[in-house]
Structure 1
Amino acid sequence: MAEKAAQKTAKRGGGKRERLAAAAVRVLHEQGVEKTTLADIAKVADVPVGNVYYYFKTKDDLVAAAIGEHDRQLTELIAALEQLPTPQDRLKALVQGWADQRDTAARFGCPFGTLSSELDKRDDGDAGLDRTAATVMTRLLGWIEEQFRELAPEQDPRGNAVALLSAYQGMSLLTNTFRDPQLMLDQGSRLTAWIDSLT
């Protein structure tokens, strides 16, 4: 999801700020926060490194922009999923989207989950980037809960939402750990069957 969106932004030649934010999503996912430099992001965004400072004074500013880009991508994803007729269809499409990113997950893990986990371990003073990231994850969890509430209101919508999101994070971690894209595909099929069983 994140990688495809970053490529789209680069192809459509968005403004430099947008290109830098999209590049930050990609590079932070592939290299991690600590290993990534502003020069790395500038190179992927095809922006002279000196220009980066016009838009972002620090790497934390770019990390915050990457979180904002993830949030923007989530908004687009939810809008696309909302076009589907039933909550069952929407949840299954979400799972399919995760499974479609299995090769990326095998190499680097979940784009947002790995970023959130890494930010939680940082001592970033007052920046609070881990809490900012948590708000994006909270939005996704809330949307999934809404789908379960519409699908099977008597079957613990919140618990089912947490179970689904946890399953995705777990299968992303294992897919990455074992470098096995098939694992994500298999677990995605199990999640789809589970969603079907709730109706």
Structure 2
Amino acid sequence: MPSRREQIVAVALRLYRANGVAGTTLKDVAEAAGVPLGNMYYYFKTRDDLVRAALDACEAELLDLLARLSPLPSRAWFEAYFDWLLADPGGAAQFGCPFGTLAGELRALGDPAAARAGRTVGLYLDALRQRTVLLGLPPSAGDDLFAAVQGAYTVARALNDPEFFRQSVARLRAGAPQFGGARA
């Protein structure tokens, strides 16, 4: 069972993804987590502390995914990756990439945590590049896949149409047999 602090971070991350960091106050997080606002300061002295904790959780989420996929041969790795995308962790099809959305907003806000968030997105991109190379493809194939997925996230969020994301990923999967087979 997650600790109270971990529960608060999970709520904050969900709110950041849905409303943005700038659109989410400590009061919003406290209310959604069922914690009195005064108690929030026991867990997080500042808003920046909570944002850093959310980044920690975001990075842990990515590292967990990569660790689960790591033992798989590359074609199976990509199949599992597409499965993960289609499972839509955290409502990403509605709110955007679970990693890129937060990184992009922090950069737009000029937040010092933006560089750290960007490194997490870099880990994601590097994993795709490494796996494409193992398939005998150039690293740019990983870049192209990453860009296509990020574009699908962006359009789905703009249209508030999670089905757009799912259909886009299904087409990517079917149209990219080099990544693991042409499964619809």
TM-score range, shorter chain: 0.7 to 0.9
Are 2:5 and 2:43, in contact at CA under 8 Å, matched by a contact in 1?
A: yes
For normalisation by structure 2, the TM-score amounts to 0.87
Partners of 1:90 and 1:55 in 2: CA distance:
37
Of the candidates 35, 52, 55, which is equivalent to residue 40 of structure 2?
52
2:76 aligns with 89
Identity rate, percent? 33
Partners of 1:57 and 1:103 in 2: CA distance:
26
1:173 aligns with 154
Deviation at 1:83?
A: 4.2
Q: 1:137 to 1:67 in 2, by over 3 A?
A: same
Deviation at 1:194?
A: 4.2
Of the candidates 32, 48, 57, which is equivalent to residue 69 of structure 1?
57
Per-residue displacement from partner, 1:102-144 (whole Å, max 9, x unpaired)? 99345322232221111111133xxx21101011111111111
Structure 1's unaligned 5+ residue stretches are: 1-11
Partners of 1:103 and 1:41 in 2: CA distance:
16
Where in structure 2 are the equivalents of 1:1-199 lying within 5 Å? 12=1, 14-84=2-72, 86-101=73-88, 104-124=91-111, 128-152=112-136, 155-156=137-138, 158-197=139-178
Deviation at 1:163?
A: 1.1
Per-residue displacement from partner, 1:15-41 (whole Å, max 9, x unpaired)? 222122211111111111112111211
Per-residue displacement from partner, 1:141-172 (whole Å, max 9, x unpaired)? 111122112112xx21x211211111111001
Secondary structure (helix, strand or coil) at the match of 1:111 reads coil
Number of residues of Structure 1 aligned to a counterpart in Structure 2: 180
- Aligned amino acid, residue 48 of structure 1: P
- Aligned amino acid, residue 162 of structure 1: D
